[in-house]
Structure 1
């Protein structure tokens, strides 16, 4: 019950931001970007920094950072998979349960030859694609719900 109420509260607060749909969508999108990298819980903090540098809505960036945090293992896997499509060597990771996170982070940070190029290639491609999709999605949703701002039942929670 508390989770549903809290979710509704933040969705309503999100819909009533006093920023343009562009500012909110860009803030959310930029806030999601750190989740593609192993930040070990610092993603929302990095999201705030990115939002302030880009001068976009900070609350939207924090929302993007928080929403992406539990998705990190899946995003990590996608980075390797997509990177493997553009590299000669096959992906080192086939399933989420195969991911040795500490070893993978050490490989990623350690050297270009150990798989980090594959990871970084996948991450940058995923960032480009997800940013376009997230921006358009949040922009359209925010614009639609902004029209219904007076209607309190506009969010389905």
Structure 2
């Protein structure tokens, strides 16, 4: 129950922002970017810094950073899979159970032969695609349904 209440709180806070749809959508999509990299819990802080540098909505960026944090193992797997598609190499990681944080750091900052090029290629492609898709979705939701969603969240 507490998790549901917290989720509703952040949704209300997001939809009550006085910023326009462009600022909120850009903040959320830019705040989501650090989730594709091994930040070890510092993703929301990096999202905050990214929002300050680019002058987008800070609250939306932090929420974007928080949203993806629990999904890190899935993003890690996607990075390897997508990188393998672009580099035409078999994926270094094939299952979620194989995702280890220590190995993520070693593979990301290790030599190119260790799979870091595959990981980083996948991460960059995923950042680009997810940012565009997330921006469009959030922009359309805020443009069309902001007041309707906010009125339903109050009850």
Distance 2:96 2:154 in 1: 32
Deviations 1:116-140 (A, max 9, x none): 0000000001011101110011111
Post-superposition offset of 1:156:
8.9
Aligned to 1:48: 48
Aligned to 1:25: 25
SS at match of 2:94: coil
Distance 1:101 1:125 in 2: 21
Alignment of 1:3-152 (within 5 A): 3-148=3-148, 152=151
Deviations 1:32-60 (A, max 9, x none): 00000000000000000000001000000
Distance 2:62 2:100 in 1: 28
Tell me if structure 2 keeps the 8 A contact 1:15–1:145.
no
5+ residue gaps, structure 1, are none
Distance 2:154 2:126 in 1: 29
5+ residue gaps, structure 2, are none
CA RMSD of superposed structures (Å) = 1.7
Post-superposition offset of 1:9:
2.1
Deviations 1:71-130 (A, max 9, x none): 000000000000000113211111010223312311220111210000000000101110
Tell me if structure 1 keeps the 8 A contact 2:38–2:104.
no
Tell me if structure 2 keeps the 8 A contact 1:25–1:139.
yes
Number of equivalences: 155
Post-superposition offset of 1:14:
0.9
